[in-house]
Structure 1
């Protein structure tokens, strides 16, 4: 299950592209390698340390690859380098588990939300069916997979679709989930990573909340002196630092918007109206700004944007807490950002996109007349028709290629929808796109009419 979703059961094991590319191992002629043997080898690698570990590391991997066919070597290479994109995302695998174990997909989805780990969820489903899945409960100290919001076309449309709603600020912060049990506090990210050791300011704040036990969902962000949000990456930089000077310079401010447990009572299945009432009794000044059943939601959106935030989230008051976007009980409303950018290159796809040119390299126009300046990549939004068209047309304007990428003459313009931009040292222009997706190609525009790097930089908040 872990392999199919492109992850390792052991987490990071210190094996990257350079390590693997230096191993020259002839593939096996016939398939004989088992999943268990691969997992055992990765276990061995993950435990290696100290003097001589690098040589032993290479030896174990060489032995593993020697037992793999050419196709299996390719799979392992992409799995170990984080480049396995074969289409088996978590949503697909939830349905696959349900089918394999002959259990309702909703039972799998709920168990996955509570366990936070797809492999353990699959094991329970195959071992004991619905009864084993039902054994998963909310546990203090074990993070719950977060509920997410889906995009809405408009604020009025979101309110009309959901009926009785709560309208809250949508902040460009980092998602956090805090667990309090007495004086013990744990803080987790959206990906369920434990960052407690890096956010002492948050743990002290949560420890002082007026409750004995709680699980709260929210956002945290670093603020400027005038209370406006700092760039997203500055907030994220705190999650990996324990340096006292950085902690003091970038204090984190939480904004809680949901309560999943309070003083012994689990609230996951309670309607949002009830969860919000519990939250208001405990979050105090750290409550996410918003209004229950507003007569006019437009002023809330305007106030959010005016104070430097992204927009609003509209939430159905009768909805329970459910991981993922399924059901669309939460809808996010943000001003749409688009840019017209130049296609610089495309990478060959993986999985169901094998044989197609997929992942686009995107560039902004240099106003001084130089070549386009790269600002990001995306494969999102590409339909089957566009993939086929790209694969057919891109070689006609190819400048050169390597094993993975076809580089193009800077002629094509594509319209890209994005959440915003952030500063980045990865690209020459110093900025990178956030959550970019293809809307359409612009045959009515040539590269001289693409947006400039100055226009991209102007989208930086603050």
Structure 2
């Protein structure tokens, strides 16, 4: 645990990507199995210890220190694991002189029930110093937040042992932690793992923002960018899996899609649901807004009612494998022909094809894009016709051209401290719009879109205009207007205002506008598509 704690400490204070890669690489080279495998599982978000949750950790610390002191400290520090690691009292007896390994901690905590795990975790915390406690708690909860992505950790592994990172990514989800077969291959003790007969995840091909670039439609094909979740559907050896863009297995949330995909192959598409919360369908092939899809995300069990009211389907973009034939090296236009033939063999109620936008030139495409305001359309994708399917973002091959955001002038109502480097600032803002009777109702929450200087200005406003305190939340005078940009807006029964914004962010601080002139909920409702 000591070496892993040192690694996390250095990663937190290292900004350089190359420096982070070197730190992880050096750690993996000198750390024995299975500790380094479990460390990789923690760094990539693949470690799951169901008996240890944030609520358990809060209960343990509040049994040992004043709960008010803990909550005030947590509010200031901005991170539960760091707060608990610092406040945890030194036990009256000397700690166990034998160091605790990552493998020992994982084996112990993963084998216990939810009722027994808290006591075991407390005993481990008693044996550790503050840095090691921080590492254990971060690892156990799966919320590292140290500026290391899953891809970066896998790249460090590949760099450290002279492996191809795409080969590592390809078999990653077919090997369980602590990845013994992977490290055997890395150190030339075993064969290279393969994806044969295993429904593994392959890296998605991603796009760069188009920005000011104009492309020739003779070289690029245009498709709609749909507002669902990007999924990869894999059927191998009688088994189907659905993976999200981050490689998470989402099969359980969409069992009807997995059930109806029985043709061997690997497809790339956008998963959406038909109709909306009231069961009505939209014009473009029945695709509902993201808000309807959101009700199903993360569910391990989907009710029969939800399956009936919000059935899922996939709008297909690309094909990676046809049976066991790898089509990724083929250019896009050839893969498109193969995809069209593949889709013809699928259930049209569950799978359809994302159509290519017919436009004479880029100027015509601009007009088509400007007129698109369907709830399920997020923008336009531009794909080079001769591009192979390559994992990650490759310059010049695929571009995303998101539609212009909607905006509304809203009044700040509440503020909450942020996390990490923003933990000392009130950086998360709840804002509202007016009803017809003059009531201000919350319509969204945002924390992005502002500069560091603007963050300081808003933090100062919150501190100087607080009218009420509710734990970490402050209510403020309803006098400051924020211009909020958002991708779309939808009806929502979960919000008192009846609306929910998609991707809200702060566009401007409107000190020039009186709060009474901010937008109304009715005006937002007119933007619903």
Query: Matched residues in 2 for 1:118 and 1:406: separation?
Result: 46
TM-score normalized with structure 2 length: 0.69
- Residue pair 1:31, 1:69 contacting (<8 A) in 2 also: no
How much has 1:174 moved relative to structure 2?
3.2
Aligned to 1:290: 356
Alignment deviations for residues 1-33 of structure 1 (CA, whole Å, 9 cap, x no partner): 5687594612x6154443322222343499999
Shift of 1:63: 2.0
Q: 1:326 to 1:410 in 2, by over 3 A?
A: farther
Q: Is the 8 A contact 1:365 1:447 kept in 2?
A: no
Match of 2:89 among 27, 35, 38: 27
* Distance in 2 between residues matched to 1:310 and 1:426, nearest whole Å: 23
Alignment of 1:320-335 (within 5 A): 320-325=388-393, 327=395, 329-335=398-404
* Offset at residue 335 of structure 1 (A): 3.2
The SS at the match of 1:339 is: strand
From the superposition, tell whether residues 135 and 68 of structure 1 become closer, same or farther in structure 2 (CA, over 3 Å).
Answer: same
| Alpha-carbon separation, structure 1, partners of 2:322 and 2:484 | 43
1:231 to 286, 289, 302: 289
Output one character per residue of 1:240-287: Cα deviation in whole Å (capped at 9) or x when no partner: 354444434433332111111113222334432332232122123622
1:454 aligns with 2:526: no
Distance (whole Å) between structure 2 residues aligned to residue 373 and residue 6 of structure 1? 39
Name the SS of the counterpart of 2:230 in structure 1: strand
Q: Max radius of gyration: which structure?
A: 2
Displacement of 1:392 in angstroms is 4.0
Shift of 1:381: 2.4
Sort the Cα spacing of 1:67 and 1:317 in 2 relative to 1 into closer, same or farther, 3 A: farther
User: Are 1:278 and 2:338 matched, yes or no?
Assistant: yes
User: Is contact 1:338–1:418 with CA below 8 Å preserved after alignment?
Assistant: yes
Contact 1:343 / 1:410 at 8 angstroms: preserved in 2? yes
Pairing 1:416-455 to 2, within 5 Å after superposition? 416-424=484-492, 427-455=495-523
Aligned to 1:159, what secondary structure does the other structure show? coil
Instruction: Give TM-score, length-normalised by structure 1.
Output: 0.77
Contact 2:225-2:378 within 8 A present in 1 as well: yes
Distance 1:253 1:125, change over 3 A: closer
Aligned to 2:215, which of 159, 162, 176? 159
Q: CA deviation at 1:59?
A: 0.8
Asked if 1:341 is matched to 2:410, the reply is: yes
Gapped regions of structure 2 (runs ≥ 5): 1-38, 65-87, 276-280
Greater alpha carbon shift after TM alignment, 439-448 vs 17-26: 17-26
Work out whether residues 434 and 519 of structure 2, in 8 Å CA contact, stay in contact via their aligned partners in 1.
yes
Q: 3-state SS of the aligned residue for 2:395? A: coil
1:115 counterpart = 2:179: no
Distance of 1:113 and 1:34 partners within structure 2: 38
Query: Any conservation in 2 of the 1:141–1:186 contact (CA below 8 Å)?
Result: yes
Distance 2:449 2:95 in 1: 36
Is contact 1:346–1:406 with CA below 8 Å preserved after alignment? yes
Selected match of 1:219 from 258, 266, 270? 270
Seen in structure 2, the aligned counterparts of structure 1 residues 125 and 201 have a Cα distance that, compared at 3 Å, is closer
State the 1:143 CA deviation. 1.8
What's 1:173 paired with? Answer: 228
- Taking only aligned residues, the RMSD between alpha carbons, in angstroms, comes to 4.3
User: Which residue of 2 is the match for residue 9 of structure 1?
Assistant: 47
Distance 1:31 1:348, change over 3 A: farther
